[in-house]
Amino acid sequence: MGERDGRRTAAHDMFDADVASKGLGIELVSAADGAAVARMRVTPAMLNGHAIGHGGFVFLLADTAFALACNSHGPAAVAAGGEISFLRPVREGDLLEARAAERVRYGRSGIYDVTVWRDDEVVAEFRGRSRTIARD
Protein backbone atom coordinates (compact mmCIF):
# COMPACT_ATOMS: atom_id res chain seq x y z
CA MET A 1 0.00 0.00 0.00
CA GLY A 2 1.05 3.59 -0.50
CA GLU A 3 2.65 3.19 -3.90
CA ARG A 4 1.50 5.50 -6.66
CA ASP A 5 1.35 3.83 -10.06
CA GLY A 6 2.97 0.73 -8.56
CA ARG A 7 6.24 2.61 -7.85
CA ARG A 8 8.16 2.45 -4.60
CA THR A 9 10.11 5.56 -3.69
CA ALA A 10 12.81 6.35 -1.14
CA ALA A 11 9.94 7.58 1.07
CA HIS A 12 8.50 4.05 1.23
CA ASP A 13 11.85 2.71 2.45
CA MET A 14 12.05 5.50 5.06
CA PHE A 15 8.49 4.80 6.26
CA ASP A 16 9.19 1.07 6.54
CA ALA A 17 11.74 1.95 9.27
CA ASP A 18 9.63 4.69 10.95
CA VAL A 19 8.78 3.13 14.31
CA ALA A 20 7.28 6.34 15.74
CA SER A 21 4.75 6.94 12.97
CA LYS A 22 3.75 3.29 12.71
CA GLY A 23 3.38 3.08 16.49
CA LEU A 24 0.73 5.80 16.30
CA GLY A 25 -1.14 3.99 13.54
CA ILE A 26 -0.11 6.37 10.76
CA GLU A 27 -0.70 4.88 7.32
CA LEU A 28 1.27 5.83 4.20
CA VAL A 29 -1.33 6.31 1.46
CA SER A 30 0.93 7.63 -1.31
CA ALA A 31 4.35 9.20 -1.81
CA ALA A 32 5.88 10.20 -5.14
CA ASP A 33 7.12 13.21 -7.09
CA GLY A 34 7.35 15.57 -4.10
CA ALA A 35 3.85 14.81 -2.80
CA ALA A 36 2.52 12.47 -0.13
CA VAL A 37 -0.63 11.52 1.76
CA ALA A 38 -0.71 9.98 5.24
CA ARG A 39 -3.64 9.08 7.52
CA MET A 40 -4.13 8.67 11.26
CA ARG A 41 -7.11 7.97 13.50
CA VAL A 42 -7.27 10.01 16.75
CA THR A 43 -7.20 7.58 19.68
CA PRO A 44 -8.04 8.16 23.38
CA ALA A 45 -4.29 8.23 24.15
CA MET A 46 -3.96 11.31 21.88
CA LEU A 47 -6.40 13.51 23.85
CA ASN A 48 -5.29 16.44 25.99
CA GLY A 49 -6.82 17.83 29.20
CA HIS A 50 -9.63 19.47 27.21
CA ALA A 51 -10.67 16.09 25.74
CA ILE A 52 -9.57 17.20 22.26
CA GLY A 53 -6.68 15.92 20.18
CA HIS A 54 -3.29 17.11 21.44
CA GLY A 55 -1.71 19.40 18.87
CA GLY A 56 1.55 17.49 19.04
CA PHE A 57 -0.11 14.47 17.42
CA VAL A 58 -1.58 16.60 14.62
CA PHE A 59 1.87 18.12 14.11
CA LEU A 60 3.40 14.63 14.02
CA LEU A 61 0.98 13.49 11.31
CA ALA A 62 1.72 16.60 9.22
CA ASP A 63 5.46 16.17 9.80
CA THR A 64 5.26 12.54 8.66
CA ALA A 65 3.51 13.54 5.41
CA PHE A 66 6.14 16.27 4.94
CA ALA A 67 8.95 13.74 5.48
CA LEU A 68 7.37 11.36 2.98
CA ALA A 69 7.04 14.10 0.36
CA CYS A 70 10.58 15.43 0.70
CA ASN A 71 12.04 11.91 0.72
CA SER A 72 10.03 10.77 -2.30
CA HIS A 73 12.78 11.97 -4.63
CA GLY A 74 15.73 10.48 -2.74
CA PRO A 75 18.41 11.46 -1.52
CA ALA A 76 17.65 11.38 2.20
CA ALA A 77 16.14 14.60 3.55
CA VAL A 78 15.43 15.79 7.09
CA ALA A 79 13.46 18.66 8.56
CA ALA A 80 15.28 21.96 8.89
CA GLY A 81 12.18 23.49 10.47
CA GLY A 82 8.43 23.42 10.53
CA GLU A 83 5.45 25.33 11.83
CA ILE A 84 1.77 24.62 12.13
CA SER A 85 -1.47 26.57 12.48
CA PHE A 86 -4.27 24.70 14.25
CA LEU A 87 -7.59 25.76 12.74
CA ARG A 88 -10.13 23.36 14.28
CA PRO A 89 -10.01 20.92 17.19
CA VAL A 90 -9.90 17.20 16.48
CA ARG A 91 -11.67 14.59 18.56
CA GLU A 92 -11.40 10.95 19.46
CA GLY A 93 -12.28 8.76 16.51
CA ASP A 94 -11.56 11.40 13.85
CA LEU A 95 -9.73 10.09 10.80
CA LEU A 96 -7.19 12.72 9.77
CA GLU A 97 -5.54 12.89 6.37
CA ALA A 98 -2.40 14.95 5.78
CA ARG A 99 -1.72 15.93 2.16
CA ALA A 100 1.78 17.25 1.48
CA ALA A 101 2.93 19.11 -1.62
CA GLU A 102 6.33 20.39 -2.64
CA ARG A 103 6.41 24.14 -3.22
CA VAL A 104 10.07 24.55 -4.17
CA ARG A 105 13.25 22.50 -4.13
CA TYR A 106 16.57 24.17 -4.79
CA GLY A 107 19.98 22.64 -4.15
CA ARG A 108 19.80 20.86 -0.81
CA SER A 109 16.76 22.83 0.46
CA GLY A 110 13.03 22.44 -0.02
CA ILE A 111 9.75 23.95 1.15
CA TYR A 112 6.62 21.81 1.54
CA ASP A 113 3.05 22.65 2.53
CA VAL A 114 0.82 20.13 4.30
CA THR A 115 -2.92 20.45 4.82
CA VAL A 116 -4.50 18.23 7.47
CA TRP A 117 -8.10 17.30 6.72
CA ARG A 118 -10.96 15.71 8.64
CA ASP A 119 -13.48 14.69 6.00
CA ASP A 120 -14.01 17.93 4.04
CA GLU A 121 -12.75 20.28 6.79
CA VAL A 122 -9.24 21.66 7.06
CA VAL A 123 -8.06 21.27 10.67
CA ALA A 124 -4.44 22.43 10.33
CA GLU A 125 -1.92 23.95 7.92
CA PHE A 126 1.78 23.07 8.17
CA ARG A 127 4.86 24.38 6.37
CA GLY A 128 8.10 22.44 6.50
CA ARG A 129 11.60 23.22 5.35
CA SER A 130 13.80 20.30 4.32
CA ARG A 131 17.52 19.74 3.86
CA THR A 132 19.09 16.80 2.08
CA ILE A 133 21.82 15.00 3.97
CA ALA A 134 24.69 12.68 3.13
CA ARG A 135 24.14 9.10 4.27
CA ASP A 136 27.00 7.40 6.10
Q: What's the alpha-carbon Rg for the chain, to the nearest Å? A: 14
Condensed to tens digits (0 to 9), the pLDDT of residues 99-125 reads 999 999 999 999 999 999 999 999 999
43 with 101: CB under 8 angstroms? no
Condensed to tens digits (0 to 9), the pLDDT of residues 29-81 reads 999 999 999 999 999 999 999 999 999 999 999 999 999 999 998 889 999 99
Question: Cis link prior to 89 (omega < 30° from 0)?
Answer: no
Q: Any idea where the domains of the chain sit in the sequence?
A: 10-132
Where does 10-132 sit in CATH, by number?
3.10.129.10
> pTM score, two decimals?
0.91
Query: If residue 70 lies in a helix (H) or strand (E), which one and from where to where?
Result: helix 55-71
